[in-house]
Structure 1
Amino acid sequence: MIGTVSVRPTRLALLARNFTYSFTGLHKFNSSIDSVPSLSSRKFSSASPTLVNSQNPGSGPRLQPKKPLDVISEEKGGGISRIDEDISIEYPEDTGLPRTPIIQGRGGRHFKRTLAQFSLEDKVSVVTGGASGIGLALSQSIVASGSHLAIVDMNRKLIANPRYLVQKIIKTNYHNVDDEAQIQAKTLLEQFKSENPGLEKLPTVTAHYADVSNPASVDDAIADIIAKQGKIDNLVTCAGFTENFSAVTYPYDRMQKLWGVVVDGTYLFTTGVAKHLIKRQASGSMVVIGSMSGAIVNVPQPQAPYNAAKAAVRHLAASLAVEWATHDIRVNCISPGYILTALTRKILEENFEFREKWVSLIPAGRVGMPEDLMGPVTFLLSDSARYITGADLRVDGGYTLT
């Protein structure tokens, strides 16, 4: 049918491009890649497009699909890109998650040359949420890059799992340690020492308590860091968590808690450290950990409050970057994609179908690891990024590109 109609080449090219795009999009979002044939091999039946000019039928042909093609979206389309409101996942108690291990082989002397600008030598860096997950990996990268470190966490008591605690105490000889931040601070330093034998100057690694959603607690933590470390140069805000409830069933008190940790916590720590830097008339660098969820809507799990909170964090970073530029304080955002932390692993183990759906939408073909964020955060904190502020660096395997 198409071959018998005379159409100007430019319009024919445009039509071909539009239909190729349509079928490519349908192909991409279908759960079975083989279920949609390519345009070149597709045989049009009675539902094939016909050539009609709806405005003036006698003036020339125009390609227009018939009804059966129109109803594809109603019958089959969009399924993989929709929220499943039946999914409900509450953030577990901290004692229900295994301790995050220190990543092996990430310190040590470098035998390959790199720019001196990447060094964080003699800086003091603060990481909130630094005792586990992404925060612990970032803490380790900061120490490996030459910085002193202050880990801020909720100091979770480990008495809920006494057998594991006893094993840990015996292994590390820390007989009086009962909170996670202190254990991880000492373990991290021991790991650094083992990978740098004979190193005369070791970094100072301290542990501090803070409820990041509480202004007085944040002020106390910052004062404690300054008292023990002498100053603060860099900040990474990594404290946060996510839960999955449909918007109409999300418990309001839990939503308030999430926003308190993610949004209020980021605001309170960034402004608190900024006050210290401005008072010292010192330059500084901050990296807030956002999420790709601040720019897209994750599927199939519902998490509207988390998505909105991370969008707020991303724009807060941009706003503070402009406001504090005159003080030589840089503020950037890193937006990770799916990262395989202890929490993510637990979710995937209990909801195996998530992994297939998530990975199918990631061009890189895999879920990220915490160490995938070690280089980006070091770069943004260091002088190698001294002309970068207000940026949002997405580390998501290409998820948000498609």
Structure 2
Amino acid sequence: MSVYRFPEGAALVFGGSGGLGGGVVRLLAQSGTNVAFTYHKNRDAAEENLKAIEDAGQQGHIGSVDLLDLPAVEAFASDVKGKFGRIHSVIFATGPFLHILPIMDAEPQVFYDTLDADVKGFYHVLKAVVPHLREGGGGSITALTTAAIPRYIATDGLSSIPKAGVQHLCTAIAREEGPNNIRANCVAVGLIAIGLSQEIDSPPGGILDQWTRQVALGRPGAPEELFDTVAFLASENAGYISGQSVPVDGGYSA
């Protein structure tokens, strides 16, 4: 029996085909809730995660959704509400490709596109799901951000600057929608042995070395250590936690 408690309905994960989002999708299903999720282009990975949901004895629903297209995001959220009756938890686990370079070396359009993907994309998610959470009597929103917000590391601006906007949107929702029994939290992701951190081409002395030297535990985090934190915050177990940014970074931000 799962240690995480969820009500009837479904969790909705935006970005459920990647390494981080896919792990969250699978754990949510194993925890006894139906799961709907979006993907960008990786249909094969999405289908594998959908099968994992069904193998866990739950119902799944997937869709390719451009988060910059507000009507498309709203339509997918409405489809999920119609299929499952209620959306009780929303997880934002998506983001653009991570460019590692000094912020003044970034091309302006790359900077604009990254801001759009994170801040505008998350804003569209909120516009689409908050009405459904209100209608269902409340629920949770959990956004994956970065441990580089409180402790900046050189060349990580294209990650930390947009994710800071995501974090403040969570703070706004926690404050403004708390009376509607809606919680909003962030998980500040550190160096995890999966996902974008494994795709960075970082030479000796580069960003990965800088991160590792500053992690108090001296090791990357295991993926399950991140997934467990996300599932906990999304669940009813965390019913009195809202407006927080929980670091999963091995003491990097301490």
Contact 1:293 1:310 in 2 (8 A): no
| Higher strand content, 1 or 2 | 2
Other-structure match for 2:189: 336
Other-structure match for 1:218: 73
Other-structure match for 2:33: 147
| 1:138 matches 2:24 | yes
The number of aligned residues is 252
* Residue of structure 2 aligned with 1:358, choices 188, 203, 211: 211
Over the aligned positions, Cα root-mean-square deviation in angstroms equals 2.0
Write the mapping of 1:3-402 to structure 2, written as runs, cut at 5 A: 109=1, 118-156=4-42, 179-190=44-55, 192=56, 202-241=57-96, 242-278=98-134, 280-299=135-154, 302-347=155-200, 351-354=203-206, 355-401=208-254
Corresponding letter in the other structure for 2:192: I
Unaligned runs of 5+ in 2: none
- Tell me the CA shift for residue 217 of structure 1: 1.9
How far apart in 2 are the matches of 1:119 and 1:134? Answer: 21
Corresponding letter in the other structure for 2:137: A
- Tell me the CA shift for residue 307 of structure 1: 1.4
Task: Give the number of the structure with larger relative contact order, counting CA–CA contacts within 8 Å between residues 6 or more apart.
Answer: 2
How far apart in 2 are the matches of 1:365 and 1:237? Answer: 28
Contact 1:185 1:205 in 2 (8 A): yes
How far apart in 1 are the matches of 2:59 and 2:90? Answer: 16
CA 1:396/1:382 → structure 2, altered by over 3 Å: closer, same or farther?
Answer: same
SS of the aligned residue for 2:253 comes to helix
Contact 2:87 2:136 in 1 (8 A): no
- Tell me the CA shift for residue 188 of structure 1: 4.4
Contact 1:295 1:311 in 2 (8 A): no
CA 1:212/1:343 → structure 2, altered by over 3 Å: closer, same or farther?
Answer: same
Contact 1:294 1:309 in 2 (8 A): no
Unaligned runs of 5+ in 1: 1-108, 157-177, 193-201
Structure with higher Rg: it is 1
Contact 1:293 1:311 in 2 (8 A): no
How far apart in 1 are the matches of 2:52 and 2:27? Answer: 14
How far apart in 2 are the matches of 1:214 and 1:220? Answer: 10
Sequence identity percentage: 24
Which deviates more, 308-317 or 224-233? 224-233
Contact 1:130 1:152 in 2 (8 A): yes
- Tell me the CA shift for residue 380 of structure 1: 1.2
How far apart in 1 are the matches of 2:187 and 2:199? Answer: 24
How far apart in 2 are the matches of 1:220 and 1:391? Answer: 29
Corresponding letter in the other structure for 1:119: R
- Tell me the CA shift for residue 357 of structure 1: 3.1
